[in-house]
């Protein structure tokens, strides 16, 4: 019974190979950022990677569990960890633009908590029949998103995380005068775009629930996640180590 959910080879590859690679790469990058210095800027940037790691860990846990109630709770925590991550970049870029004195600890917490409340509100969709996520034997234990849940997440992620990160990224880029710094920062922007492509691929594949779309999304998305995460780190994380 415990292994019921893992009978599909594709599911095993997706959860315990592909997503494990993303998890390990993100954990390693967070470790590198925090190893040299644990100042506030480093912690916030590493928080982006660690949030993704935590989300993936919950995904690993519920992978082999055949209990629908438990799986839905763990899937909710997975979504929270994965889709909460970009808000750390908003705070990080604000700190770069305005300094830590202006974006002080209180303001940082206010932003993080406010976005956390929006993520928490996913629970109301999950507990409302026909509004949240279907995840049971009928879906082959793959999450299927209902339209209200899909629209809520894509709006919250796009309006409060993706758009601010892109806007602030270009402001940081234009602030730099050194061409080498600009070149490095371009890598950060490209990396973020690759990661957001991965996120939207998850959104769309979970909503459409078409096997071939899921397979393509996983294949392309995992590459985008690993490469994107590294580009972001290479664009700014190395400098934080100094």
pLDDT digits (tens, 9 = 90+) for 66-92: 888 999 999 999 999 999 999 999 999
| Greater pLDDT, 36 or 116 | 116
Q: Is there a contact between 232 and 238 (Cβ–Cβ < 8 Å)?
A: no
**pLDDT value at residue 2:** 44
Other CB atoms within 10 A of residue 128 CB: 12
CA distances from 100 to 57, 107, 162, 169 (A): 31, 10, 22, 17
- Give the whole-angstrom CA distance, residue 196 versus residue 141: 25
- Give the whole-angstrom CA distance, residue 125 versus residue 134: 11
Helices 68-84 and 105-120, axial angle in degrees (round to 10): 140
pLDDT digits (tens, 9 = 90+) for 137-156: 888 888 999 999 999 999 99
- Give the whole-angstrom CA distance, residue 27 versus residue 149: 29
CATH superfamily of 4-241: Rhodopsin 7-helix transmembrane proteins (1.20.1070.10)
| Residue 137 DSSP class | G
Residue 133 pairs in a beta bridge with 145
**pLDDT value at residue 135:** 92
The predicted model scores a pTM of 0.91
pLDDT band at 11 (very low <50, low <70, confident <90, very high): low
**pLDDT value at residue 9:** 64
């Amino acid at each position: 019974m415990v292994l019921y959910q893992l009978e599909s080879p594709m599911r095993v590859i997706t959860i315990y190979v592909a997503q494990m690679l993303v998890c390990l790469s993100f954990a390693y990058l967070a470790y590198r950022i925090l190893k040299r210095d644990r100042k506030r800027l480093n912690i916030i940037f590493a928080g982006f990677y660690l949030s993704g790691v935590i989300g993936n860990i919950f995904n690993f846990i519920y992978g082999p569990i055949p209990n629908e109630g438990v799986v839905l709770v763990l899937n909710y925590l997975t979504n929270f960890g994965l889709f909460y991550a970009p808000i750390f970049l908003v705070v990080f870029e604000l700190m770069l633009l305005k300094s830590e004195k202006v974006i002080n600890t209180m303001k940082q917490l206010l932003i993080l908590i406010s976005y956390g409340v929006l993520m928490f509100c996913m629970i109301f969709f999950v507990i409302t029949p026909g509004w949240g996520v279907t995840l049971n034997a009928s879906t082959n234990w793959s999450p299927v998103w209902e339209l209200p849940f899909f629209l809520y997440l894509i709006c919250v992620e796009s309006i409060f995380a993706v758009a601010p990160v892109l806007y602030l990224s270009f402001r940081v880029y234009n602030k730099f005068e050194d061409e080498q710094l600009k070149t490095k920062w371009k890598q950060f922007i490209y990396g973020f775009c690759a990661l957001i492509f991965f996120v939207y691929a998850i959104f769309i594949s979970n909503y459409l629930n078409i096997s071939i779309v899921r397979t393509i999304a996983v294949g392309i998305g995992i590459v985008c996640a690993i490469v994107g995460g590294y580009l972001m780190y290479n664009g700014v994380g190395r400098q934080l180590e100094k």
